[in-house]
Amino acid sequence: MNTRFYNARILPMETADGTVLEGELWVQGDRIALVGDPNGREPLAFDREIDCKGNLLLPGFKNAHTHSAMTFLRSFADDKPLHNWLHEDVFPMEAHLTGDDIYDLTKLAVLEYVSGGVTAAFDMYYHVERIAECACDTGFRFTICGAANDFGGTAESTKQDFELLNRFGPLVNCRIGFHAEYTTSEPLLRDLAALSQELHEPVFTHLSETAAEVDDCIRRTGMSPIAYLDSLGMFNYGGGGFHMVHPREGDLEIMKARGLYVCTNPASNVKLSSGVAPIETYYRENIPVAIGTDGPASNNCLDMFREMFLATGLQKLTVGAAAADPIRVLHSACSVGADMMGRSDCNCLKEGKQADVVMLDLHTPNMQPINNIAKNVVYSGSKANVALTMVAGKILYERGEYIFDVDPEAVYAKANEIITRIRRSEGR
């Protein structure tokens, strides 16, 4: 399908300079065919032409760390620190999930993603083939991260998942990962590091999320989690850490030397009382920063607008008013996350890139007057401004309607059925 967007403001986000173009964006199949001035270009045979009426087109947000199927625990286990939350509530409830549950719960998350301008998610969970099937059935883009730990998963199963998912089709890819240093014994960590070196692939994990996690690793190994994992060869081919709230001395040098990414999750870290990641420090050190929501059990919503505001706002509170430039934060949310996920083909609006496009309605009180559009997206934008979400050239959401084969009410009913069943099984 070929689509023409015209009378548009366009924020390509190829760089973090906030440049806004005026003109058109053409989509041919699943690719962008033109951005900007169409003069001198031979028009395509368009299936649909959309008058943007001065609204803003930008690359979709990339939710660079989430656990989508944890929608079933939204507002169930709240107001506890991370360790208690995981061991008292999350792990026991998750033990009852089936593959079918994860498919249905992931579909609920997809509805929230596309209505909020998210076009891809870096998802870490179980029954990964069902997540991939959900991607194909909804048209949403998933990068799936391995989640091996001492409760389940091996280097061999991680390799099998990696090979399976990277053959699944263009909407799905896989990156090597494991849950966390504190849930994974050294023999398994060494096996995963060896797998990374065998495949020449980066590795991703929850990393330095709480001060207690870091202190415990230092007590056991004499090293911070980053230094310990690096000593095992885990990051020889790069990778990254989800959260990265509590780096210790020497960690930044390792991160720069290995080309590691940080994915900050400010809402989850605040809600779980884990702390505030030093995002401004990472920016100053040119360590690439992506943004994610974490799962809907700890956040509790999958809202990238809120994450962007917190990413800049918390730095201003802890560092100073000029910290965490909002345009750079927007670039983190749209572009750096795509690179972290191995999705550089959809990291900006540029000819030849994947047609992952979001239109934000500027004809709303919170977006007027138009002084600095890029900053206003971060400081004032909300999911209510999302007028259209396109993934791989297909419109999945437009002004309150889901444009794929889904019955939202049936999805909601299934989610409630799942949590009711599991609560009864747990006697809760």
Give 311-322 as a DSSP string: HHHHHHHHT-TT
- Residue 99, both tokens: 């593959």
Based on the domain organization, do 217 and 162 belong to the same domain? yes
- HSE, side-chain direction, 13 A CA sphere, residue 377: 32
Instruction: Answer yes or no: do 166 and 229 share one domain.
Output: yes
- 199 and 315 in a single domain? The answer is yes
Residue 164 within a domain? yes
pLDDT of residue 314: 98
Would residue 116 count as lying in a domain? Answer: yes
Strand partners, 241: 205, 262
- Pairing assessment for the beta strands 386-391 and 357-360 based on DSSP bridges: antiparallel
Domain assignment present for 422: no
Instruction: Give the structural domain span for 271.
Output: 61-342
Which pLDDT score is estimated for 81? 85
47 and 7 in a common domain: yes
Q: Looking at the structure, do residues 239 and 336 belong to the same domain, yes or no?
A: yes
DSSP tag of 151: T
Residue 348 is predicted with a pLDDT of 98
How confident is the prediction along the chain (428 residues), in pLDDT tens digits per residue? 999 999 999 999 999 999 999 999 999 999 999 999 999 999 899 999 999 999 999 999 999 999 999 999 999 988 888 888 888 999 999 999 999 999 999 999 999 999 999 999 999 999 999 999 999 999 999 999 999 999 999 999 999 999 999 999 999 999 999 999 999 999 999 999 999 999 999 999 999 999 999 999 999 999 999 999 999 999 999 999 999 999 999 999 999 999 999 999 999 999 999 999 999 999 999 999 999 999 999 999 999 999 999 999 999 999 999 999 999 999 999 999 999 999 999 999 999 999 999 999 999 999 999 999 999 999 999 999 999 999 999 999 999 999 999 999 999 999 999 999 999 998 88
d(CA 245, CA 276): 6
3-state secondary structure at position 69: helix
pLDDT of residue 321: 97
- Among 292, 320, 342, the domain-final residue is 342
Domain of 153: which CATH number? 3.20.20.140
Quick one: 188 and 288 in the same domain? yes
Let me know whether 9 and 151 are in one domain: no
Whether 410 is covered by a domain: the verdict is no
Q: Are 282 and 367 found together in one domain? A: no
Asked if 201 and 273 sit in the same domain, the reply is yes
Burial of 117 (0-12, 13-18, 19+ CB in 10 A): buried
In a domain, 147, yes or no: yes
Among residues 342, 368, 386, which one ends one of the domains?
A: 342
Q: What are 173's two structure tokens?
A: 């890819």
Identify the CATH number of the domain in which residue 375 sits. Answer: 2.30.40.10
pLDDT at 427: 87
**Quick one: 132 and 145 in the same domain?**
yes
Residue 74's SS3 state is coil
CA distance 175 to 146: 7
- Residue 338: how many CA atoms within 13 Å on its side-chain side? 24
Q: How far apart are CA 191 and CA 157, in angstroms?
A: 11
d(CA 330, CA 326): 6
Is residue 384 domain-resident? Answer: yes
Q: How many domains does the chain have?
A: 2
Contacts of range 340-345, beta carbons closer than 8 Å, 24 or more positions apart: 340/62, 340/64, 340/122, 340/204, 340/240, 340/261, 340/263, 340/288, 340/290, 341/62, 341/64, 341/120, 341/122, 341/143, 341/173, 341/175, 342/143, 342/173, 342/175, 343/62, 343/120, 343/141, 343/143, 343/173
